[in-house]
Amino acid sequence: MANERAQSEKGTAETVAVPLDKRVWDWMQRAWRPAGTALAVGLALLLMGHVVNGKNGLTVWHQKRSEDQQLQKEIKQLEQENARLREHVERLKSDPDAIEHEAREKLHYAKPNEVIVALPVETKEQAPAVAK
């Protein structure tokens, strides 16, 4: 027991007498892990922020995705309209009744001895005034 006390007193005396560069080196060896962990966490947070809010991040990706869906709907509508117009053109090329209908509707053509009565066209501004 006396030896242990002597060694502990001796150890205490040695720690006080340790040079500054040795103490700094010991502190750096003990502190590098927490500092490295803090640095890694900081870098991970910066990377995550860049992934979410960066130039091509998640927020921009969501905006582009919704824009793509909207454009796909528009393309589908335009394709349907094109198909309808193609069908109409084919009817006009081959069906005499369709040609006659277009001539009467759009060009106001009439057969001999027919009278066309044209009514005034209501505008949107006139319609509510008539309703009142």
Quote the tokens at residue 65: 């995705």
Q: What is the dihedral of CA 129, 130, 131, 132, to 10 degrees?
A: 60
110 neighbors 116 (Cβ within 8 angstroms): yes
CA distances from 63 to 56, 57, 58, 67 (A): 10, 10, 9, 6
91 neighbors 98 (Cβ within 8 angstroms): yes
Most confidently predicted of 3-12, 88-97, 117-126: 88-97
Contacts of 60 (CB under 8 A, 6+ apart): 54
Instruction: Specify the pTM.
Output: 0.47
Over residues 14-58, the pLDDT tens digits come to 556 788 888 888 888 888 888 889 999 999 999 998 888 888 888
25 neighbors 31 (Cβ within 8 angstroms): no
